[in-house]
Structure formats: C-alpha cells, structure tokens
Amino acid sequence: MHGFEILIVQAASYIQIIFEAASVIVVAAGGIAFALALIKNRKSDAEPIARRILGKYLIVALELQLGADIIATATDPSIEELAKLTAIAFVRTFLDYFLVREVREERVEDKPSET
C-alpha cells in the first residue's frame, strides 16, 4: 500500500468508528426520549407516542450503522465482506422499512378525524 492509500484507509476506519459511536448515542438518546415521553404523557395514549419517538431514533441509528458497514466494506472489498454487507444491508433495510411504516401508521392514527 502507498502512503496516501494507507491514510485513506485509516481515515475511513476513524469515520466508521464515529458512525458506530453516533449510532449508539442515537439509540441511547432514543431510549431517554422514550422514557420521558412515557413519563410526560401518563394518559392512555402515551405508549403510541413514545413508540413513535423511539422508532424515529432507531431509524436514524440503523442508517448510521449501515453507513458504517459501507465504509468498512469500502476499505476491505473482499467477496466475504461484500456478502456480509449485502446480508446486513438487507436486514437493516427491512427493519428500517417496517419502522418507517409503523411510525407513519401511528402518526395517522394519532391525528383527529375531521368530520
């Protein structure tokens, strides 16, 4: 490897760690926001509101994790790493899709009907 290539791989490694750390922070913030929403809204509709809040944080965390995985694969593009990335991307995209769908459905259910 040449000096510049080593520098790029090292930079990508640090960026990957930043993405992974950001993902953990987002999940932790989502857990706190979830708990605060439950405490703040002690009425019967608190759970859907809290779940929607947590879902939004989890969506962002999944996207950050996928970004970290893409960076990791870009620096080591072996067939094994590409296969792993494909599987991880599929699972995370699947989870992301259903989280987004659930958040949207709960948002629609929470809106008062206009009659």
Which pair of tokens denotes residue 24?
């953990």
pLDDT value for 111: 61
Flag whether 105 is in a domain: yes
Name the DSSP class of 36.
H
Domain ranges, residue 15: 3-110
Flag whether 42 is in a domain: yes
Average pLDDT over residues 4-23: 90
- CA distances (Å), 53 to each of 24, 87, 107, in order? 16, 27, 10
Domain total for the chain? 1
- Tell me the per-residue pLDDT of 77-114, one tens digit each, with 9 for 90 and over: 778 877 877 887 788 788 878 878 877 776 666 665 44
Flag whether 58 is in a domain: yes
Flag whether 115 is in a domain: no
Flag whether 85 is in a domain: yes
Residues sharing a CB contact under 8 Å with residue 68, sequence separation 6 or more, in sequence order: 16, 17, 19, 20, 23
Instruction: Decide which of 29 and 94 is more confident.
Output: 29
Average pLDDT over residues 13-38: 94
CA 108 to chain centre: 22
